[in-house]
C-alpha cells in the first residue's frame, strides 16, 4: 500500500463530476487500500476518491479514533470500521439538524461549524459490491455526509455563510496557492 498525496482546495479535481463504479478490479482494490492508508496517515476519519485525484464514486471512513466520544450503548449500531462506500446514495435525511465543527484533509488548518441533518439513510455497495442500506446518526452521519459531498463536488466551506466565507477568503486562497501546512503529503494544483 502507498500513501497518496492529498489534493488541496482549489484543485479542480475536487469539483469534477464523479462516475459510478461498475466493478472493483485489482486497480480499484489497490486504490481502496491506499486510500485507507492515506486517511490513517493523515489522522483523518474519512477520505473521498477526488481528494486523491480519482473520479470514482467511492469513499472510505474510519471513525474508530472517535469511538470514545460515542456513548457505549450506541456503539452497537456502528458497522465495523473502516468502511468502504461505493456508489452511495443518500435516500433520506432527517428534518432535525445539528451543528458540528468540521475540517477536511483538503483544507488544512481550517475548522468551521457546519449545519447538517442529524441522521440520514443511504444505500451503498461495499468493496465486494455487496449492497447495503444503512441508517446512521451522530458522528458517523456527519462524516458520511461530508464525504458524500466530495462525490458531488462540494466542500464543507460551501455550507458556510457568505460572511464566514469572506473571513476565510485569504486563507483559502493561500491554500489554493499551495500555502498549506499539513502533517501529511499534499499536492497543490498551482
Ligand atoms: Ni473533506
CA 70 to centroid of ligand 1, rounded, Å: 21
Give dist(CA 49, CA 55) in Å, integer: 6
Assess whether pLDDT exceeds 80 at residue 126.
yes
Q: In which band, very low, low, confident or very high, does the pLDDT at 75 lie, cut at 50, 70 and 90?
A: confident
With cut-offs at 50, 70 and 90, classify the pLDDT of residue 181: confident
Residue 147 among the catalytic residues? yes
Residue 175 pLDDT class (50, 70, 90 cuts): very high
CATH of domain 6-180: 3.90.45.10
- If you measure from the C-alpha of residue 108 to the centroid of ligand 1, how many angstroms do you get, rounded to a whole number? 10
Percent of the chain with pLDDT over 70: 100
Q: Is the pLDDT of residue 66 over 90?
A: no
pTM of the predicted model as reported, rounded to 2 decimal places: 0.96
* pLDDT (mean) for 107-114: 97
CB-proximal residues (5 Å) to ion ligand 1: 104
- Is 90 exceeded by the pLDDT of residue 74? no
- State the catalytic residue, choosing from 97, 102, 147, 173: 147
Report the separation in Å between the CA atom of 179 and the middle of ligand 1, taken as the mean of its atom positions: 18
So where are the chain's domains? 6-180
pLDDT digits (tens, 9 = 90+) for 35-63: 999 999 999 999 999 999 999 999 999 99
Among the ranges given (84-88, 91-95, 173-177), the one the predictor scored with the smallest mean pLDDT = 173-177
CA of 103 from ligand 1 middle (Å) equals 7
Lowest mean pLDDT, pick from 12-26, 30-44, 72-86: 72-86
Residue 76 predicted with pLDDT over 90: no
Amino acid at each position: 500500500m502507498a500513501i497518496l498525496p492529498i489534493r488541496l482546495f482549489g484543485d479542480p479535481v475536487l469539483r469534477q463530476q464523479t462516475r459510478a463504479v461498475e466493478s472493483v478490479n485489482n486497480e480499484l482494490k489497490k486504490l481502496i487500500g491506499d486510500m485507507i492508508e492515506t486517511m490513517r496517515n493523515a489522522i483523518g476519519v474519512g477520505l473521498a476518491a477526488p481528494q486523491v485525484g480519482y473520479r470514482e464514486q467511492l469513499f472510505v471512513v474510519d471513525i474508530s479514533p472517535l469511538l470514545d466520544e460515542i456513548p457505549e450503548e450506541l456503539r452497537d449500531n456502528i458497522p465495523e470500521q473502516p468502511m468502504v462506500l461505493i456508489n452511495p446514495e443518500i435516500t433520506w435525511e432527517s428534518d432535525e439538524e445539528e451543528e458540528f465543527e468540521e475540517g477536511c484533509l483538503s483544507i488544512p488548518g481550517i475548522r468551521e461549524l457546519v449545519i447538517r441533518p442529524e441522521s440520514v439513510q443511504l444505500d451503498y455497495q461495499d468493496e465486494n459490491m455487496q449492497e447495503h442500506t444503512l441508517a446512521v446518526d451522530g458522528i458517523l452521519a456527519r462524516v458520511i455526509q461530508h464525504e458524500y459531498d466530495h462525490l458531488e463536488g462540494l466542500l464543507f466551506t460551501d455550507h458556510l455563510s457568505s460572511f464566514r466565507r469572506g473571513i476565510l477568503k485569504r486563507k483559502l486562497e493561500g491554500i489554493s496557492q499551495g500555502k498549506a501546512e499539513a502533517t501529511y503529503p499534499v499536492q497543490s494544483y498551482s
